[in-house]
Structure 1
Amino acid sequence: MQQVLLIVDVQSTFSPPEWLVDGIRLLSASIPAVASVELHDEQVTPFQRQLGWHPASEDECLVEVDHVFVKHGYGQTSEAIAHLKQMGVERVLVCGMQTETCVLAAGFALFDAGLCPTLVTDLTVGSSLDRSGKLGIDLWKHHFGNVTSRAEVMAQLMLAGQ
């Protein structure tokens, strides 16, 4: 199965736990990977004005990937979606920070673009509202159905000889 890993906002701004970064690094070493990083631009997304906080204006993905897309809000950019579609993958594995917000928003963008988003449930962390990510995982299952784990993906890769 042709697949790609989309890593959502695993950057210093959001203080990802070390286990998350390490787990994503292990998986991203086995399949093509792209990432998004969220940067602040108040002219694009009014984080400070509406929420009283904002992500950093400069930051970088903490995992080495094939391509990084900068975004200025919750959703993925049209460039990121176009890139993923051009790859011709059967599914997009999604992991990262803020399961019930930015990760879920990525799922909607992928789904709306005709791609098959699949959440890697043990490589995601929720927001401060729910660090476990359970709310986001439940929402993902409800809207998209497709979830997996890092172990399941690695087992599939081994069976396929990758």
Structure 2
Amino acid sequence: MRQVLLVIDVQPSFSPPDWLVEGIRLLLGTMPSVATVERHDESRTPFQRQLGWSPAPDDDSLITADQIFIKHGYAPTPETIAHLKALAPERVLVCGIQTETCVLAAGFALFDAGLQPTLITDLTVGSSLDRSGQLGIDLWRHHFGHLVSSREL
């Protein structure tokens, strides 16, 4: 099966647990990989004004993916989606930080682009609202249906 790994916002601002970073690194090299990094630019996304918090303006990915895309806000950029579509995968495996927000936003963008988003359930961490990620996993199952664990890959 042709698949691509999409890693969402595994960067210092979000304090990812070591097990998440190591688990994702084990998948690198087994398929094409893309990572996103969320950077703060208040003129583009009003994190500070609306939430009183923002990611760093200069964060970098903790994952050495084949391709890294910078984004401002929750969803992947159109360039990220275009790159993934050009790889023509049968499914896009998604993992990373904030299962019920940024990861879910990636799922919607992938779905709307005609791709098959598939969540790697044991390689995702929720926001401070639900660090377990279970809320995001449940929402993913409801909206997209496709879930796997890293052991199944």
Aligned mates of 1:3, 1:60 — CA distance in 2: 24
**Aligned counterpart, 1:134:** 134
The one-letter code of the counterpart of 1:27 is L
The one-letter code of the counterpart of 1:124 is T
Q: CA shift at 1:88, angstroms?
A: 0.7
Structure 1 residue 3 corresponds to structure 2 residue 12: no
The one-letter code of the counterpart of 2:136 is G
- TM-score w.r.t. structure 1 length? 0.94
Which structure has the bigger radius of gyration?
Answer: 1
**Aligned counterpart, 2:37:** 37
Q: CA shift at 1:65, angstroms?
A: 0.7
Q: CA shift at 1:63, angstroms?
A: 1.0
Q: CA shift at 1:29, angstroms?
A: 2.9
* Gap regions ≥5 residues in structure 1: 154-162
Aligned mates of 1:12, 1:33 — CA distance in 2: 19
**Aligned counterpart, 2:64:** 64
Aligned mates of 2:30, 2:22 — CA distance in 1: 13
SS of alignment partner, residue 69 of structure 1: strand
**Aligned counterpart, 1:25:** 25
* Gap regions ≥5 residues in structure 2: none
**Aligned counterpart, 1:98:** 98
Runs of 4+ aligned residues of structure 1 deviating over 4 Å after TM superposition are none
Aligned pairs for 1:106-125 within 5 A? 106-125=106-125
Q: Give me the identity figure in percent.
A: 70
Q: Note the alpha carbon deviations across 1:1-42, whole angstroms, 9 max, x for none.
A: 100000000000100000000000001231111000000000
CA RMSD after TM alignment: 0.5
Q: Note the alpha carbon deviations across 1:93-114, whole angstroms, 9 max, x for none.
A: 0000000000000000000000
The one-letter code of the counterpart of 1:91 is R
Aligned mates of 1:97, 1:60 — CA distance in 2: 14
The one-letter code of the counterpart of 1:102 is C
**Aligned counterpart, 1:50:** 50
Aligned mates of 1:38, 1:100 — CA distance in 2: 15
- TM-score w.r.t. structure 2 length? 0.99
